[in-house]
Structure formats: structure tokens, C-alpha cells
Amino acid sequence: MKQITIILCFALFQIGFSQIQTGKASFYADKFEGRQTASGEIYKHNKATAAHRKLDFGTKVRVTNLANNKSVVVVINDRGPFIRGRIIDLSKSAAQVLGFVGSGVTDVKIEVLGNNASTTQIDASVQSSPSTSVDTTTPSSVDSTSPNNYGESKFYELKVNQIQPDFIGVQIGSFREMTNLIRMADQLKLSYNESVTVQVKTLNKTRIYALILGKFGNRLAAERFIKKISKDYPDAFIVDMQ
């Protein structure tokens, strides 16, 4: 089967906060139910909300538990946590989705998805659904005709070329939403200064975009690169396209 790839080159970007962050997550104690958060909203444990020290209120982020790969999408509406090493405080129901209520703290990766002030109530059907490696996020209540739904606009210059790859790369993840792929590709380009390749493929009649980082001449070089990024991207794997 013919493989189609797209090279993405980014010339202009406006990012105030890294789109990917890793660290420890905790969750709200029961005593905070009904109390006012820093944004003015009332904390409710069954809402998918969280506290972060820097992200704007209304920012939507995906939080992934690195221990079991379960994910949940939450909206930032509070400030904290203020304990060294912790990067996010989750509502109790969000922590239940991630499966760490028993331990109290877990290592997570958070990914900025956009800005949407609405919060979502988590029900039992969501809590039992683990995440997959494919991004299936579809923001709710978003008017696609409005350019300002996600706050400050970001501009990307793309240079697209179809190629026949003859190198070894490292696949970071797969996406269904092109918007999330572009954000991730931009972050990777900034962080590692490696070539970004996108493989376009179809899985179960669904278009999937696989994001591949680097052009390595041999497997050893690719393995060294995986070790370098393993903390931030533990699910990355080598793709041999020679």
C-alpha cells in the first residue's frame, strides 16, 4: 500500500504555555464541595474541572494517567495546587475516571486542547472508558464559524510535500482531529528541533493522522531518541520506513 506523508514546517507561532506538561496530579477533598473557586464558580465533585497555577480559566485540557493510560478532559476554573511537584488538582470525579482516588496522587501528562468555559458532568459510563492511543476529542458547544472560540488566534505556515520515506522515525501518537495534531507537531518542533512527518492512513473507515518525529538513518539512533523523550512520551515507538 502506498504510504502518504506530509511534512509540516512551522514559521509563525504564538504559544504562551507549553502544550504538554508532565508531573503529579492530586484531587479535591470532599470538604471543598460547594465552595467557591478562584474563577468564581462553585466547585462540584461531579464536574470535570481542575486547578492549575498558570493556565487561563476556561482552558480545556486532557489529563492522562501515566500509570494506566486512562484520560479525562477537564476545564480549568481554579488556582493550585501549591505543593511542590504537583501540576494539577482534579475534581474527585475526574480522579475516579483516571483511577487514582485510592492512592491520592499519580503521575500525569496534561495537554492543552483549547479554551471553552463550559464544564461537563461526568457520569458512570464515562468513568468506565479507558483512553486509546487515538485522539477522539470533539469539543462541545463550539461554533466552527467563529475564529475566537479558543481565545488568542494562532497562525501556522505549512509547507506540504508528498514523499516516499526512506528513514526511521519515532511515532509520538495518532490523531483524528487535525487541530490537535498541528498543536502537538508545533510543540515537538520547538522542543526537539527534529523533522515532523505525518502519515495519513485509514483505520476502520476513519482517517487517522500518525505523527512521526525525526529522520534517523539507523535503529540505534532512533532508540537513543526514544530514551531522550520517554519521560514525556512513554508510548512512543519506532517506525521503520526504509
Q: Quick one: CATH architecture of 4-15+153-240?
A: 2-Layer Sandwich (3.30)
Work out whether the CA dihedral 27, 33, 39, 41 comes out positive or negative.
positive
Contact 209, 181 (CB under 8 A): yes
The predicted-structure confidence for 58-74, as pLDDT tens digits, reads as follows 999 999 999 999 999 99
Domain with CATH 2.40.40.10 in the chain: 20-132
Q: How confident is the model at residue 142 (pLDDT cuts 50, 70, 90)?
A: very low
Superfamily of domain 20-132: RlpA-like domain (2.40.40.10)
Domain with CATH 3.30.70.1070 in the chain: 4-15+153-240
- Chain mean pLDDT for the chain: 76
**DSSP letter, residue 118:** -
Average pLDDT of the residues in 161-166: 86
* Selection from 184, 44, 59 nearest residue 122 by Cα: 44
Work out whether the CA dihedral 108, 233, 178, 124 comes out positive or negative.
negative
H/E element holding 96?
helix 92-98
- Confidence (pLDDT) at 160: 77
Q: How confident is the model at residue 52 (pLDDT cuts 50, 70, 90)?
A: very high
- Confidence (pLDDT) at 118: 53
**Alpha helix segments (H runs only) across 109-215:** 124-127, 178-192
The pTM (predicted TM-score) of the whole model is 0.46
Average pLDDT of the residues in 111-132: 51
- Confidence (pLDDT) at 153: 58
Beta bridge partners of 36: 42
92: left (phi over 0), alpha (psi -120 to 50) or beta: alpha
Distance between CA 32 and CA 36 in Å, rounded?
Answer: 8
| 191: Cβ contacts below 8 Å, ≥ 6 apart | none
